[in-house]
Structure 1
Amino acid sequence: MDEVAEGDGRESLVDRPASVAAAFEGSEEIAEARDLARWFLVNLQAVHGLPVSGRAMGMVQLVVSELVTNARKYAPGPCLLTLEIDEGTVEVSVWDSSTMLPSVLAADPDRIGQHGLEIVMAVCRSFAVHREPVGKRITAAVVLADDPGGDPAGRRAL
């Protein structure tokens, strides 16, 4: 990102909320979605100096993987992933073309698979599903730094 010189009438990019978005069309792109999430969080640390705990780094990638996987599995066409910072959290938002709302299945220790949504809801500060004029949007928020005294992700104490 290029910084903007003061006084030229444009807003500095540093003062704007950080966000990134990408569209994904194939199941092979789920790894790319996780990579985008990791890149976004690493840049939050490096460019904006925001603390990102190791737990947050892993949880955001997990949430991205689960939500994009579900969108690719259950909805025709592409899905749109948006990551945005909001008051100490990363909001992970996935839009897809299906109007069918997801549901969490009843607990069943014998069930194999279909636990992704349960996991997402367990690790996130908030979870919401909204119908849109076309399709739906699922938004989950993950806290950036669970332990204010903890080490940021990707950095180790000496």
Structure 2
Amino acid sequence: MAAARAMVGVPFRLHGRSRESGVDCVGLVMLALEAAGQGRALCVAPARYSIRGGHVSLFHQGLTRAGLRPVECGRAGDVVLVRVGVGQFHLMIATSDELVPDGGHIHAHAGLGRVVEMPGESPWPVLERWRLNGSASRADRHPEDGEP
């Protein structure tokens, strides 16, 4: 999450993948993952996509290939997949646990033209929460994960 927070203020750029030239929501998440030691994150990010007309399966594929898995209960540092509109999805990084009322998110805001940290709950419906493999607590594990 520290890497994402350090990106606050970076310009928004669709398909952007660097602090210098700007990032979109995918670029923000991939750079944060790389800073967390997931060195292959940028390699598996899709190269081209549109803001609208996407399908949630593209996010599932990319997040899984980047070393994340879906979890039920959110916590700080999770990648949050939201639906902004019909066929329009967005990624954010949670800044607090799901049950904290004053929680917040860091995300690349196209309208404001930069990465921002916003307080409070997501203004959009949350579809899923994703976390790096190996960083889940016992309560977050899925049955197929087996015992630690």
User: TM-score range, shorter-chain basis?
Assistant: under 0.3
TM-score by length of 1: 0.26
**Larger gyration radius, structure 1 or structure 2:** 1
Structure having the higher helix fraction is: 1
Higher strand share: 2
TM-score by length of 2: 0.27
